[in-house]
Structure formats: C-alpha cells, structure tokens
Chains A and B, each alone.
Chain A
C-alpha cells in the first residue's frame, strides 16, 4: 500500500520512480533555466492546468505567458507567439526547454490523477547555473523552432542538449519503448495496440491537437 492508500503494483512502482526522477530533474539547473526557474515554471503550469491564476513568481511576464499557453492552451500557439516571446527575452532554445518541462509535468500529473495518486511533490531547488549550451548546425526546418531535421517528435527538442532523452524516458515508461513503435500487434499490460492508439487519438481530439 502506498502513502496515498493505493495498492502498489509494479506499474505504480515504475510510475513512482519516473515521477521522482523527473521532479528531481525539475529542481536542477537545465540548459537555459535554473532549478528555481524550472520549479517556478512547474508552479505556473500547474496553476494554468487547474484553471487558476498564475502564482507569485520570479519568472518574467513573457515566460509566464508562454508557460500558461503551453500548459493549458497549446493548440492556440502560433509562430508569431514564439517569435514575440523570443523578441521579449525568452530565446527560442529556452522556450523549447520550457515546453519540455511542461510536457513532462503534464504527463506526470495526468498519470498521477488517473492512477488515484496525489500530485508528485516538488523538491527544493538545487543551486546551480544553466549550461547555456547550443547545438551547432541546426536551424528552423519546417516547424517554429530549430530542429535537427523535419519537426516531429524525435527532433522536437533537439535544439536543447539532453531534452530529447528526458522526453523518451517519460514516453518509454508511460507509452511504449521506441523500438515497439512500428508494431501494430504490440500489447502492453493487456492493452492492445489498437486500444493504446484509441486512447492516443481520443486524447489528441480532446486537446484539439492534430498530431
């Protein structure tokens, strides 16, 4: 039995480990944000997803606007928004990292709700400076941010070193390992590939997303 009163299973244990791993990552400096700033992004995003006003924060007005849009109204984002945020101080690579943080948070918080668990608590921020590392020789191809090739999931975060690996960690645990993506007969925990993809399609529909 977990602290939430939920019967622990191997799946729940795997999720607990995933959420703890990413909460710890949120609290540490990344590439363009400090740990304190990433935890502030988490707080702003959680409030937005709950339909609440933004909490008091040290983030810039621009970062708060971007975080709230990504968290609660991503389908309304346009190229002009990304360009305006960059002009107002959130450089495009920092925006990509922000999207990655909020995407992983949305996945972890949604899973916790659906599994009957409390939201994952966030640790205290770990002091440290962002790497501020860029990736050479990548540019905007056919999306709104620089990508290493056409903009699709495997390249979405390639402007930020390490961000793709963090996304894959969440996707592997919650959805399926990358090596299984092409298998229409894949079954995980008694859920068939057709049922898995029905959940995916319905979720995308509810989010007004055409992905």
Chain B
C-alpha cells in the first residue's frame, strides 16, 4: 500500500531508504516523519521533544498527532502478527530484497 499510495501521487518509493531513514525516499516530509516515528516507537525521551516540534512545524498539529497514532497502531499490529506466526507471502520477497532484507525462515514456512 505504501508503494500504491506513493505512485498515486505521481512519485516512486525507494524502499531501501526506509531502512536507512533517508530524507528523500519518495514521501513528502519523510525526514520529520522518520524522526518522530523513531522517537515514539523507541520511547526516546531525549529525541522526542525536538522531533515533535519539528513535525508540528512541518505538517501541523493534527497530522503530527495522527502520525503518532499510526505508529502506535503498528506497535499493536507488529506484536499481533509476530506472535501468531502469520506467514509473509512470497510475493513480498522482492520488496524485502529492495529494502536489503530477507524474510526469515520461520515466517516463510507456511506460505500461501
């Protein structure tokens, strides 16, 4: 869906830059988004205040709050899928490779 939504806006995503946290990954204001997502998910009390202010200045208060909420939701989703052993479809292998990653064997064992 990330790629589909980026393509919808006439751009292209560079998945390897998600891993690297690069500013220019094809999504607008990625630098501020990465910084605040990292601070919130890692509960980084040192980085959080600055990341929060920079995000608010760049994308506004409501979008910043929504960003936080989305990261929070994926704290739930990640635990859900890792804990129940939901397999990663083989169709996602190319995307993982673009990100410089490989799907672990334990998530590939029962592929559809």
Contact = CB atoms under 8 A, between A and B. Distances in A.
Interface of A: 9, 11-12, 15, 49-50, 69-71, 74-75, 77-79, 82, 95-96, 99-100, 102-104, 106-108, 110-111, 113-116, 142-145, 147, 150-153, 156-157, 167, 170-171, 173-175, 181, 184-186, 188-207, 209-211
16 contacts: A74-B82, A96-B84, A111-B68, A114-B48, A151-B84, A157-B80, A174-B70, A184-B7, A190-B59, A191-B59, A193-B1, A195-B59, A195-B63, A199-B70, A199-B74, A211-B78
Contacts, number: 250
Interface of B: 1-2, 4-9, 11, 13, 18-19, 21, 25-30, 33-34, 36-43, 48, 52, 59-63, 65-88, 92, 96, 99, 101, 103-104, 106-107, 110-112
A192 B12 CA distance: 15
B74 A108 contact: no
B93 to A, nearest CB: 10
Contacts of A174: 69-70, 72-73, 76
B65 A12 contact: yes
Which of A12, A170, A171, A209 has the most C-beta atoms of chain B within 10 angstroms of its own C-beta? A209
Contacts of B5: 184-186, 192-194, 196-197
Given A75-B78, A143-B85, A195-B33, 10 more contacts: A9-B65, A107-B72, A150-B112, A171-B73, A185-B8, A190-B59, A191-B59, A194-B5, A194-B8, A202-B33
